[in-house]
Amino acid sequence: MKIIRVGLDVPVATLFDYRADDVGADDVGRRVLVPFGKRTAVGIIVEIAATSEVPVHRLKSALRVLRDTPALFTDDLRLLRFASDYYHHALGPVLMNALPARLRRVHALQRPVEACFVLTTSGEAADFAQLPARAVVKRRLLDLLKQQRALDAAAVKTVAPTARAALKQLIASGWVERQNVAPRTPAPGPHSAAAGPALTPEQAEAVRAVCARRDAFQPFLLLGVTGSGKTEIYLRAVDAVLRAGRQALLLVPEIALTPQLEAMIRERFPATTLVSLHSALNETERLQHWLAAQAGRARIVLGTRLAVFAPLPELGIIIVDEEQDASFKQMEGLRYSARDLAVVRAQQRSVPVVLGSATPALETYYNAANGRYQLLTLAQRINAAPPRIACISTRGEKLEDGLSQPLLAAIAARLARKEQSLVFINRRGYAPVLMCHACGWLSGCHRCSAQLVLHLRDRRLHCHHCGYQAPVPVTCPECGNQELAPLGQGTQRVEAALAQHFPRARILRIDRDSTRRKLSWHAMRRQIHAREIDILVGTQILAKGHDFPHLNLVGVVNADSLLYSTDFRAPERLFALLTQVAGRAGRGDMQGEVLIQTEFPQHPLYAALQRQDYAAFARDLLAERRQAGFPPFVCQALLRAEAPRLETALAYLARAARIAKTLAQGVTIYDPVPAGMVRLAGRERAQLLVQAESRVRLQSFLAAWHARLAAEPSTRARWSLDVDPLEF
């Protein structure tokens, strides 16, 4: 009798044992249908064993091993196991969540999406000369099948309009058959790449360094100022990897906003199959792309954080662009860092990993500074001089809806020269809060510790955290006063103020509200490039990776709100954000100008930003962190708890802290505290920080602690562990 250990999407740390006699070693990593309680569930076979701790007579039998798709490879399973161990998240859900949604369902592949066509044995042996001379399409199909061994439906279609009919006849005659599984190994066409620009010496050195380590694990930090040509390094490194017959994985923060990168890659490697993996794809596309990666047909995978788990049998390099970006960290469920897992995966597979950024995470910079990562520096901007950055002191100044006179004058000057300006403000909506000046009432969300943002277009108050909406009240709910005033600025208000001040300027607002509506992002970009826009107003979605060749002034409004935050990572994030925004200004012979409105023009962060000296800034921050005992000098984990009432969450954490203290050796257990944002969507949250100087020590403590917590009787608080937390 054989026993299979199966991972299921249930939040317990164990695997489930079933009897299954028709399994072989190559079924490890395959999906399997099993009875679970009263239902049938899909799981993944993790191991095949001879014995079980469950008495034999109580073992149920697996219903069916699903062989319609290939098994997960051992190497991919290894990464998922690591994620499960390191983030202390049950293996079953980790495995199942790595599958495209359609493969998680019991009736996933009733209609196979990945059909392909191959020659049968008699087709192989057949003499095509027998075919009548007019059977041109059939002949072409057969020739192609011989050459490429398998064709998918899309490839068939490209042969001729009548190719499908011809194929049907070939199937009827027994020469061709349909397979529901894509070919395991494709015949990768000869690799070809369009010519790129001649590399600068800095770039050439970086490419040389990466290519020199092609067959070994080596993390690189590619520290390159905005516009220094990091993308070109990625393309060259990918080229080398493709040439060697391997696959490349590129991770980017937000794929919806980076169609440029995809277009650039396709242009450089026109004959290479690239697939994307991100949440904007529908389920069928996700499945197809995932299967293409697994089958090795896709040679380049471009995706957001979830793509770090993409099955890649011939992985040759991983690249993480804007590696500091917060979106690489998943904030719920398996709280993983795709950037960190990329490094782990590269190590497991003995391939290089390139982390690129102008402003890396301090953790990453520290790894480069101490030699664990190889540092590659690109200090020169390619097409332009670095932008001139200056502060406008707003202390005691009268502002026009948040805009200072010097900023307005600078915009006017650009308008006169028909150049574009960008006003950056990191808040969407009209005003972040509505206020009653009679009694001090502020529009708050009753479900969150947050304020309701005034949106003018629909005249409603919106909570940006939980989605709650309400009409704008006519009178103050507290005192009945009829004069409620918007307080502070959002993108809509700045847009309105600019429209009033520059009635003839063509203004385009770009934030999450505007990209959801009317014009697609693509259309907006086209307008900007065609110089149909004079002033852009936008949030950080404008900051990332776009090049606007006619933009030469960037004004930053309201940056100070991030300057004095309780989060110790706030300065690092603000520096990164402002560097990105500043990078939008200037091009070619136009020197860009960046004006930052601030009440604290002397603040060291702004001073460092003006010098565009990330390294110096990072060294200072690292010194502070070392002194204060913050990461990267300690390793942290957060036990998060939430409940209808804060006391419940805190009481749970107090009990967890007592348990922790019985286990902790060399681990500091802090007191439970309310979360930075206590209420969210009607639930109240608290957290308990634990930290240690050594990762190994913290991990062994977490394993023991987590096991104890999981064994506790159930509580009214919902809890989860966040290893290497980024938000407090």
Binding site for ligand ADP (CB under 6 A): 197-200, 203, 224, 226-232, 382-383, 547
Closest Cα to residue 328, out of 641, 76, 544, 582? 544
Query: How many whole angstroms separate alpha carbon 61 and alpha carbon 35?
Result: 8
Cβ proximity to ligand ADP: between 232 and 513 the closer is 232
Q: Which does 436 bind (CB under 5 to 8 A by kind): Zn ion, ligand ADP, none?
A: Zn ion
Nearest approach, Cβ of residue 450 and Zn ion (Å)? 6
Which residues does residue 374 pair with via DSSP β-bridges, in sequence order?
220
Cβ proximity to ligand ADP: between 72 and 223 the closer is 223
Nearest approach, Cβ of residue 548 and ligand ADP (Å)? 11
CB within 8 Å of 388: residues ≥ 6 apart:
591, 592, 593, 594
Q: Provide the binding-site residues for Zn ion, judged by CB under 5 A.
A: 436, 438-439, 441, 445, 447-448, 463, 465-466, 468, 476, 478-479, 481
Cβ proximity to ligand ADP: between 200 and 699 the closer is 200
Cβ proximity to ligand ADP: between 77 and 235 the closer is 235
Cβ proximity to ligand ADP: between 324 and 687 the closer is 324
Q: How many CB atoms lie within 10 A of CB 304?
A: 22
Cβ proximity to ligand ADP: between 192 and 383 the closer is 383
Query: How many whole angstroms separate alpha carbon 350 and alpha carbon 323?
Result: 20
Cβ proximity to ligand ADP: between 14 and 383 the closer is 383
Longest CA span, the chain: 95
Residue 138 C-beta-side C-alpha neighbours within 13 Å: 21
Q: Which does 465 bind (CB under 5 to 8 A by kind): Zn ion, ligand ADP, none?
A: Zn ion
Q: Which does 478 bind (CB under 5 to 8 A by kind): ligand ADP, Zn ion, none?
A: Zn ion
Nearest approach, Cβ of residue 226 and ligand ADP (Å)? 4
Question: Phi and psi for 727 in degrees, rounded to 5?
Answer: -125, 135
- Would strands 16-19 and 3-8 be described as parallel, antiparallel, or unpaired? antiparallel
| Residue 486 near residue 434 (C-beta atoms within 8 A) | yes
Cβ proximity to ligand ADP: between 421 and 579 the closer is 579
Q: Which does 530 bind (CB under 5 to 8 A by kind): Zn ion, ligand ADP, none?
A: none
Query: How many whole angstroms separate alpha carbon 317 and alpha carbon 310?
Result: 13
The first and second tokens of residue 609, run together, are 């930003």
Q: How many CB atoms lie within 10 A of CB 76?
A: 23
Reduced to 3 states, what is the DSSP secondary structure of residue 199? coil
- Would strands 420-425 and 551-557 be described as parallel, antiparallel, or unpaired? parallel
Q: Which does 654 bind (CB under 5 to 8 A by kind): ligand ADP, Zn ion, none?
A: none
Cβ proximity to ligand ADP: between 28 and 257 the closer is 257
Nearest approach, Cβ of residue 343 and ligand ADP (Å)? 20
Residue 45 C-beta-side C-alpha neighbours within 13 Å: 31
- In the DSSP assignment, the letter for residue 521 is H
Cβ proximity to ligand ADP: between 152 and 321 the closer is 321
Cβ proximity to Zn ion: between 444 and 549 the closer is 444
Closest Cα to residue 225, out of 357, 104, 96, 328? 357
Closest Cα to residue 262, out of 241, 278, 246? 278
| Residue 637 near residue 725 (C-beta atoms within 8 A) | yes
Cβ proximity to ligand ADP: between 228 and 514 the closer is 228
Nearest approach, Cβ of residue 341 and ligand ADP (Å)? 23
Question: What's the Cα-to-Cα distance from 11 to each of 30, 479, 492, 535, 540, rounded to whole Å?
Answer: 20, 49, 43, 50, 36
Nearest approach, Cβ of residue 438 and Zn ion (Å)? 5
For the chain, state the CA radius of gyration. Answer: 29
Query: How many whole angstroms separate alpha carbon 691 and alpha carbon 688?
Result: 10
Q: Which does 441 bind (CB under 5 to 8 A by kind): Zn ion, ligand ADP, none?
A: Zn ion
Nearest approach, Cβ of residue 387 and ligand ADP (Å)? 13
The first and second tokens of residue 204, run together, are 């050439």
Q: Which does 481 bind (CB under 5 to 8 A by kind): Zn ion, ligand ADP, none?
A: Zn ion
Cβ proximity to ligand ADP: between 59 and 385 the closer is 385
Query: How many whole angstroms separate alpha carbon 271 and alpha carbon 257?
Result: 24
Q: How far is CA 225 from the centre of its chain?
A: 21
Cβ proximity to Zn ion: between 35 and 676 the closer is 676
Query: How many whole angstroms separate alpha carbon 375 and alpha carbon 353?
Result: 12
Nearest approach, Cβ of residue 444 and Zn ion (Å)? 9
Reduced to 3 states, what is the DSSP secondary structure of residue 47? strand
CB-neighbour burial class of residue 50 (10 A; exposed 0-12, middle 13-18, buried 19+): exposed
Task: Kindly give the residue spans of alpha helices, DSSP state H, lying in 311-359.
Answer: 338-349
Query: How many whole angstroms separate alpha carbon 327 and alpha carbon 340?
Result: 13
Query: How many whole angstroms separate alpha carbon 411 and alpha carbon 551?
Result: 11
Q: What is the 3-state composition of the chain as percent helix, strand, coil, each rounded to the nearest 5?
A: 35, 25, 40
Q: Which does 483 bind (CB under 5 to 8 A by kind): Zn ion, ligand ADP, none?
A: none
Nearest approach, Cβ of residue 196 and ligand ADP (Å)? 7
Q: How far is CA 459 from the centre of its chain?
A: 33
- In the DSSP assignment, the letter for residue 29 is T
Cβ proximity to ligand ADP: between 198 and 711 the closer is 198
Nearest approach, Cβ of residue 224 and ligand ADP (Å)? 5
Q: How far is CA 360 from the centre of its chain?
A: 16
